[in-house]
Amino acid sequence: MKRRTVIAAGVAGLVGTALTALPAAARPGGRAAGRRVVVYYQTQYTDGTYVSPLGLTENAIGATHLIVGAVHLNDVNGQHAPVHLNDDPPGAAKYAPMWSDLKALRGAGVPVLAMVGGAAPGSFTRLDTEFDTYYPLLRDFLRQYALDGVDLDVEEDMSLAGVERVIDALRADFGAGFLITLAPVGTALSGGGNLSGFDYEQLYRDRGEAISWFNAQLYNGWGSMASTADVDAVLERGLIPQDKLVAGVLTDPANGGSGYVDMPALTATIRQLTRTYPDFGGVDGWEYFNSQPGGTPAPWKWAAEVSAALNG
């Protein structure tokens, strides 16, 4: 399971503020295009020190999208704040510097999405079975923080009709420029097993036009980027377009389990994929704070090397 749900306690700050909304036409990256370098950002604090994502733009290294996580929808009756970002309400004081930095990232042309779900169960069961109660909570959170999109990381059983209802509602509420991505395990797109309970290939047949791209998890036994084989297995089926497949990798051996591929091997695979698939959709990294080869002092270097391999 890739998504950690517990984050180290943060230092106190100002009360979180919402990002200023941009009109759809002015949002950077409103439509998915080109090769993407997507960075997941869940660890906002390490050892009590805030981890800023601004290195992604300050060093001009080619990151195209950032996905902040993880958003959880909790029991309405049992929770004072039914929407949580990791362990706290999104307006908690600890998140004030993060929301400010995410506004700056968006202003610099890097769209910001919210990752919903992950390894912690419950959010998608609630969206599936109690849609009228829980979907408005998600919608209002996305509006309040003026996010550019949402990444649906369904790692629990959910019906096909349920996930399609969520996608339809998001597209109706936020318009064509809003990014809707999903994060299945790699085998879910190549005819194998998955963690979500529904058939991703059928989902794509039904709602492909509404899906911006897939962040396919190619690690933890669900695939690998040590070679091109698992991307080949998806694209050779002929259903998922090249530009809607983003290959997900671990950025550090400690992040989430097995299957880390070191940078020399990863960039070799990326270069081969770009030669074979001219419209290959890109690479995403789980996660930012300790990304190699820069580690915690310079985690943005991962995106720099991946971008160079994708575009060089």
Taking CA 180 as the corner, what is the angle to CA 44 and CA 82, rounded to the nearest 5 degrees?
Answer: 55
pLDDT reported for residue 9:
31
pLDDT in tens, the chain (312 residues): 444 433 333 323 333 334 433 333 233 333 334 799 999 999 999 999 999 999 999 998 899 999 999 999 999 988 888 999 999 999 999 999 999 999 999 999 999 999 999 988 999 999 999 999 999 999 999 999 999 999 999 999 999 999 999 999 999 999 999 999 999 999 999 999 999 999 999 999 999 999 999 999 999 999 999 999 999 999 999 999 999 999 999 999 999 789 999 999 999 999 999 999 999 999 999 999 999 999 999 999 999 999 999 998
pLDDT reported for residue 27:
33
Nearest to 215, CA basis, from 71, 309, 138, 118? 118
Neighbouring CB atoms inside 10 A of 72's CB total 21
CB 38 within 8 Å of CB 67: yes
> How is residue 223 written in tokens?
């695939």
37-280, what's its fold?
A: TIM Barrel (3.20.20)
The full set of domain ranges for the chain reads 37-280
Bond before 299 cis per omega within 30 degrees: no
pLDDT reported for residue 16:
35
> How is residue 22 written in tokens?
């941009």
In eight-state DSSP terms, residue 102 is H
Side-chain-side CA neighbours of 27 within 13 Å: the count stands at 24
pTM metric for this prediction: 0.90
pLDDT reported for residue 10:
32
